[in-house]
């Protein structure tokens, strides 16, 4: 599935959506970075998976939902949880992926809410706090570029494991911050989404 998305409103957000809302399909919830905030919905498809889908560089069997933050806003845990919960009404498995600022949103959600999506992924993300609630059932993957280190991510991963979750961090050699596409071809990402029946294929690994 690739091509032209449609717009929809979901849990208080305007979103771009690739693919139908269908309980037989998994869903990917994509949280964008700083540059996509505002009221121009096309900005959410500037980088990462939505950009690759729009340009036909990627294909997936999942419905991809890309909400847009308001200008100057951050991904607040309760709002992200509402997105995940709403998607669960129409999709069988949910993969939550956050790039940069979106990755911070994923970490904040796990800090305050514990289990959220079936798989929680950060690409070039960071963590400002450590989880303080149980992480039983959480599956977390952090992918970062070697040239864009966030030392606190290691402590975050260890804390998720200590609190009962499954978590791992992987560093992409020679890569910097812009791994919103190349991170999607990482072997562990592909393995973990595959365990949920989700497939994402990219013809190239851009920024």
Per-state percent for the chain, helix, strand, coil, to nearest 5: 30, 25, 45
Q: Within the chain, how many helices (H) and strands (E) appear?
A: 5, 10
Q: Domain residue spans in the chain?
A: 7-196
User: Which residues fall within 8 angstroms of residue 6, CB to CB, at 6 or more apart?
Assistant: 16, 17
Q: What is the pTM of this model?
A: 0.95
- Kindly report, residue by residue over 54-76, the tens digit of the pLDDT: 999 999 999 999 999 999 999 99
Segment 117-175, tens digit of pLDDT: 999 999 999 999 999 999 999 999 999 999 998 889 999 999 999 999 999 999 999 99
How many CB atoms are closer than 10 A to CB 196?
17
Q: Which CATH number fits domain 7-196: 3.40.50.2300, 3.40.50.720, 3.10.620.30, 3.40.50.1820?
A: 3.40.50.1820
Helix (H, G, I), strand (E, B) or coil at 42: helix
Helical H segments across the chain, by residue range: 48-54, 77-88, 101-113, 152-162, 187-194
Helix, strand, or coil (residue 118): coil
Beta bridge partners of 171: 144
Residue 203 is predicted with a pLDDT of 86
Q: pLDDT > 70: what percent of the chain?
A: 96
């Amino acid at each position: 599935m690739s091509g032209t998305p449609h717009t929809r409103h979901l849990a208080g957000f305007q979103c771009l959506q690739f693919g139908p809302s269908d309980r037989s399909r998994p869903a990917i919830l994509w949280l964008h970075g700083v540059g996509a905030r505002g009221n121009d919905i096309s900005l959410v498809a500037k980088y990462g998976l939505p950009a690759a889908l729009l340009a036909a560089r990627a294909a997936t069997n999942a419905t991809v939902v890309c909400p847009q933050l308001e200008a100057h806003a951050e991904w607040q845990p309760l709002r992200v949880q509402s997105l995940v919960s709403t998607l669960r009404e129409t999709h069988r498995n949910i993969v939550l992926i956050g790039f940069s600022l979106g990755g911070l949103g994923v970490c904040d959600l796990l800090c305050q809410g514990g289990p959220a999506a079936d798989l929680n992924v950060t690409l070039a993300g960071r963590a400002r706090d450590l989880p303080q609630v149980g992480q039983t059932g959480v599956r977390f993957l952090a992918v970062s570029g070697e040239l864009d280190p966030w030392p606190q991510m290691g402590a975050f991963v260890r804390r998720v494991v200590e609190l009962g979750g499954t978590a791992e961090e992987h560093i992409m050699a020679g890569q910097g911050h812009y791994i919103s596409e190349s991170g999607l071809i990482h072997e562990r990402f592909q393995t973990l989404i595959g365990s949920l029946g989700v497939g994402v294929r990219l013809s190239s690994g851009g920024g």
